């Protein structure tokens, strides 16, 4: 599969919380302790077979990036 998305981060699913319609999936990125959380549909979780321990690729495509400092 070829994608135009440039921000592709590999990792492993650490947690899946499924609700009635939506789910949150936490992915620990390779090479560190960083975790990315994605909100996707319950149906997508089932179709992709997402569960703790499953290797996955996080694809990030955004029109806006924000930074904050204190």
The residue ranges of every structural domain in the chain are: 7-55
Which numeric CATH code is attached to 7-55?
Answer: 2.40.50.100
Angle in degrees, CA 53, 59, 60, rounded to 5: 130
- pTM over the 0.95 mark: no
- For the cut 90, the answer to whether the pLDDT of residue 1 exceeds it is no
| CB atoms inside a 10 Å sphere around CB 16 | 16
Residue-wise pLDDT tens digits, 23-62: 999 999 999 899 999 999 999 999 999 999 999 999 988 7
């Amino acid at each position: 599969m070829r994608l135009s998305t440039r921000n592709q981060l590999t990792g492993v699913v650490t947690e899946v919380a499924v609700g009635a319609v939506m789910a949150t999936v936490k992915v620990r990125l390779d090479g560190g302790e960083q975790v990315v959380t994605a909100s996707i549909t319950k149906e997508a979780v089932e179709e992709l077979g997402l569960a703790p321990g499953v290797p996955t690729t996080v694809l990030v495509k955004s029109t806006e990036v924000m930074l904050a400092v204190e």
